[in-house]
Amino acid sequence: MDLQQAREEIRRADREMAALFERRMAAVRAVAAYKNEHGLPIEDKAQEARVIARGCEQLKDEALRPYYVRFLQDTMELSKQLQRQLISGRSPSGAGSARLTMELGERSYDIIVRRGCLQEAGSLLNLDRKVLIVTDEGVPAAYADALAAQCRAPQRCTVAQGEGSKSLPVLERLLEMMLQAGFTRSDCVCAVGGGVVGDLAGFAASSYMRGIDFYNIPTTVLSQVDSAIGGKTAVNLGGVKNIVGAFWQPKRVLIDPDTLKTLPSRQRSAGLAEALKAGLIADAQLVSLFERGETEARIDEVILAALRVKKAVVEADERESGLRKILNFGHTIGHGIESVTGLLHGECVALGMLPMCSPEIRARLLPIYETLGLPTQVRADPEAVWAALLHDKKAHEGAISVVRVNEIGSYCIEDMAPAALRPLIDLVVRP
The residue range among 33-41, 66-74, 158-166, 373-381 that interacts with ligand NAD, by the rule CB under 6 A, is 158-166
- Rounded to whole angstroms, the Cα distance separating 266 from 272 reads 10
To the query of whether residue 396 is one of the catalytic residues in this protein, the response is no
**From 206, 216, 220, 339, residue interacting with ligand NAD (rule: CB under 6 A):** 220
Select which of 216, 251, 331, 338 is catalytic: 331
H-helix or E-strand spanning residue 316 = helix 299-316
**From 103, 120, 145, 163, residue interacting with ligand NAD (rule: CB under 6 A):** 163
Answer yes or no: are the C-beta atoms of 222 and 277 closer than 8 Å: no
Percent helix / strand / coil, the chain, rounded to 5 = 55, 20, 25
**352 is an interface residue for ligand NAD by CB under 6 A:** no
Residue closer to ligand NAD by CB (options 79, 341) is 341
- Rounded to whole angstroms, the Cα distance separating 424 from 1 reads 78
**From 161, 167, 376, 401, residue interacting with ligand NAD (rule: CB under 6 A):** 161
Residue closer to ligand NAD by CB (options 32, 134) is 134
C-alpha distances in Å from residue 186, one per residue of 152, 192, 208, 209, 210: 14, 20, 11, 10, 12
Which 229-248 residues touch ligand NAD, going by CB under 6 A? 230, 232, 241-242
**From 151, 190, 193, 249, residue interacting with ligand NAD (rule: CB under 6 A):** 193
| Strand-pair partners of 113 | 98, 255
CB of 236 to ligand NAD, least distance (A): 8
To the query of whether residue 11 is one of the catalytic residues in this protein, the response is no
- Rounded to whole angstroms, the Cα distance separating 83 from 36 reads 9
Count residues binding ligand NAD (CB under 6 A).
31
**From 79, 206, 207, 227, residue interacting with ligand NAD (rule: CB under 6 A):** 227
- Rounded to whole angstroms, the Cα distance separating 410 from 358 reads 12
Which residues in 251-283 are b (16+ Cβ under 10 Å) and which e?
bbbbbbbebbeebeeebbbbbbbbbbbbbbbbb
**From 110, 136, 213, 256, residue interacting with ligand NAD (rule: CB under 6 A):** 136
Specify the DSSP class assigned to residue 63: G
CB of 165 to ligand NAD, least distance (A): 8
User: What mask, x for binding ligand NAD by CB under 6 A, covers residues 306 to 345?
Assistant: ---------------------------------------x
To the query of whether residue 114 is one of the catalytic residues in this protein, the response is no
Instruction: Please report the beta strands in 120-275, taking only residues with DSSP state E, as ranges in sequence order.
Output: 130-136, 153-159, 188-193, 213-218, 232-237, 240-247, 252-255
Select which of 311, 328, 338, 347 is catalytic: 328
Residue closer to ligand NAD by CB (options 87, 385) is 385
C-alpha distances in Å from residue 6, one per residue of 9, 12, 13, 14, 61: 5, 10, 10, 12, 18
CB of 299 to ligand NAD, least distance (A): 13
CB of 138 to ligand NAD, least distance (A): 2
| 213: CB partners within 8 A, 6+ apart | 126, 186, 187, 188, 189, 205, 251
Which residues form the catalytic set? 210, 232, 274, 310, 320, 324, 328, 331, 335, 345
> Contact positions toward ligand NAD, by CB under 6 A?
136, 138-140, 161-163, 166, 193-197, 199, 219-220, 222-223, 226-227, 230, 232, 241-242, 259-260, 262-263, 267, 271, 345
